[in-house]
């Protein structure tokens, strides 16, 4: 079993065929030939997809991820970039921690209205001051048509 077709890649990776085609178009992955019309991929594409998932999960855009692969296809990951992104994640995490605590408090706060709760108002100030970025909504269960 040298090459696997797009359906198998989709199955094994959990990435939709349409997404795989999209990634190929973007140059993030490459198919290795065809059986009829069907793309054939080297099983190593699975590592590649994992790498892409990692990049995405870490906040890189697809374009940035694309730039992380040398022209020859081998990942050429800049360690400094990783450290930078790790620091960025760290700040994000701190921010979200504050948010979570605030929400948690607001959820049980006995003040008649949130606007009358000092903790809530403090949270508000943090949110307003931070010019913070919303974490993208987690879209669960995007399978089936």
Partner DNA sequence: TCTTGACCTCAAGTTCACTTGAACTGGCAG
Partner DNA sequence: CTGCCAGTTCAAGTGAACTTGAGGTCAAGA
Q: Is 17 in the site for DNA (CB under 7 A)?
A: yes
Give the distance from CA 90 to its chain's centroid. 16
Is residue 68 within 8 Å of 75, Cβ to Cβ? yes
Q: Largest Cα–Cα distance of the chain, in whole Å?
A: 68
Residues 97-136 binding DNA (CB under 7 A) are: 134
User: With CB under 8 A as the contact rule, which of the stretches 3-11, 18-26, 31-39, 95-103 interacts with a copy of itself?
Assistant: 95-103
Can residue 142 be called a binding residue for DNA (CB under 7 A)? yes
Q: Which one among 12, 22, 58, 77 touches DNA, defined by CB under 7 A?
A: 22
Task: Give the nearer residue to DNA in terms of CB position, either 10 or 98.
Answer: 10
Contact region for a copy of itself (CB under 8 A) — 2-10, 20-28, 30-38, 97-105? 97-105
The one among 2, 37, 57, 112 contacting a copy of itself by CB under 8 A: 57
Residues 6+ apart with CB under 8 A from 7: 17
- Binding status of residue 124 toward a copy of itself by CB under 8 A: yes
Q: In this chain, which of 14, 32, 33, 38 binds DNA, going by CB under 7 A?
A: 38
Assign 3-class secondary structure to 45-85.
Answer: HHHHHHHHHHHHHCCCCHHHHHHCECCCCCECCCHHHHHHH
Give the integer Cα–Cα distance in Å for 66 and 85: 16
């Amino acid at each position: 079993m040298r090459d696997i077709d797009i359906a198998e890649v989709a199955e094994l990776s959990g990435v939709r065929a349409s997404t795989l085609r999209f990634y190929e178009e973007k140059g993030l992955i490459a198919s290795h030939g065809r059986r009829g019309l069907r793309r054939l991929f080297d099983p190593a594409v699975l590592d590649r997809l994992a790498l892409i998932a990692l990049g995405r999960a870490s906040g890189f855009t697809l374009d940035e991820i694309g730039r992380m692969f040398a022209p020859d296809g081998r990942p050429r990951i800049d360690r400094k970039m990783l450290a930078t992104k790790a620091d960025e994640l760290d700040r994000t995490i701190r921010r979200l921690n504050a948010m979570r605590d605030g929400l948690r408090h607001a959820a049980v706060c006995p003040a008649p209205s949130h606007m009358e709760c000092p903790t809530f108002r403090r949270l508000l100030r943090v949110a307003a001051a931070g010019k913070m970025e919303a974490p993208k909504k987690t879209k669960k269960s995007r399978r089936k048509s």
